[in-house]
């Protein structure tokens, strides 16, 4: 036999612990769900109380509210899980893009015009093309910005602890941004210098 609810006198009512706090059990969860089903069928709270043996219509109303809250919580968990999986997939794609961009950074790129290698007017050595490097650095900066946005979104979804953890990550990424921006400036400077040398050689 169910233990009577000392608060309502309902023999099948919600259980309470020794401090009088409501504790949701499997039986009360099923009863709340049944109350919500009856309410969805158009029953009044008094009819629900009579059919499910609640002490009064107020208890039936509370049961329906608890059932609805449980649905919202479960739906919220499902949405959170979906959003986190989507963010993780986005980070995985960014990892792949970063790996490809860094390959471009470490590779040597020779300047070619109309199928012919361009040689330095002074040394005669093939001139390096900084175009792919500039594009790779720009891509890396955009990747890090996307990572920051994902980190901020994850922090909002998972709470304060995640926000604290992500703060350290953002700080590290900011330092990397500075390095990438410096690489970008250096590559642009080299490109301008080489273009000037080519123009000077053409004018001679």
The answer to whether residues 195 and 128 belong to one domain is: yes
The answer to whether residues 128 and 64 belong to one domain is: no
Structural domain contains residue 147: yes
- Return d(Cα 3, Cα 6) in angstroms, integer: 9
The answer to whether residues 54 and 128 belong to one domain is: no
The answer to whether residues 118 and 194 belong to one domain is: yes
What is the total count of domains within the chain?
2
Model pLDDT for residues 87-114, shown as the tens digit of each residue: 999 999 999 998 998 888 888 888 788 8
Structural domain contains residue 100: no
Buried b (16+ CB within 10 A) or exposed e, 54-66: bbeeebbbbbbeb
Structural domain contains residue 92: no
Expressed as residue numbers, the domain containing 149 is 107-203
Structural domain contains residue 90: no
Q: Which residue has the tokens 């953890």?
A: 165
Q: Which of 193, 194, 186, 189 is nearest to 105 (CA)?
A: 186
Model pLDDT for residues 36-86, shown as the tens digit of each residue: 999 989 999 999 999 999 999 999 999 998 888 888 788 778 888 888 898
- Return d(Cα 204, Cα 200) in angstroms, integer: 6
Say if residue 150's pLDDT is above 80. yes
pTM above 0.75, yes or no: no
């Amino acid at each position: 036999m169910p233990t009577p609810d000392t608060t309502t006198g309902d023999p099948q009512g919600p259980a309470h612990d020794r401090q009088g706090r409501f504790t949701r059990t499997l039986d009360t969860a099923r009863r709340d769900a049944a109350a919500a089903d009856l309410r969805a069928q158009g029953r009044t709270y008094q009819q629900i109380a009579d059919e499910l043996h609640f002490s009064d219509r107020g208890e039936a109303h509370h049961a329906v509210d608890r059932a609805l809250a449980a649905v919202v919580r479960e739906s919220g968990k499902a949405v959170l899980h979906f959003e986190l999986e989507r963010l993780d997939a986005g980070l995985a794609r960014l990892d792949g893009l970063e790996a490809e961009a860094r390959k471009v950074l470490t590779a040597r790129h020779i300047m070619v015009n109309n199928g012919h290698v361009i040689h330095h007017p002074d040394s005669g050595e093939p001139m390096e093309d900084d175009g792919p490097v500039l594009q790779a650095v720009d891509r890396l900066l955009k990747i890090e910005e996307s990572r920051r946005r994902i980190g901020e979104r994850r922090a909002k979804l998972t709470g304060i602890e995640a926000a604290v953890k992500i703060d350290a990550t953002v700080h590290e990424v900011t330092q990397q941004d500075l390095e990438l921006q410096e690489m970008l400036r250096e590559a642009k400077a080299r490109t301008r210098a080489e273009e000037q040398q080519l123009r000077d050689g053409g004018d001679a």
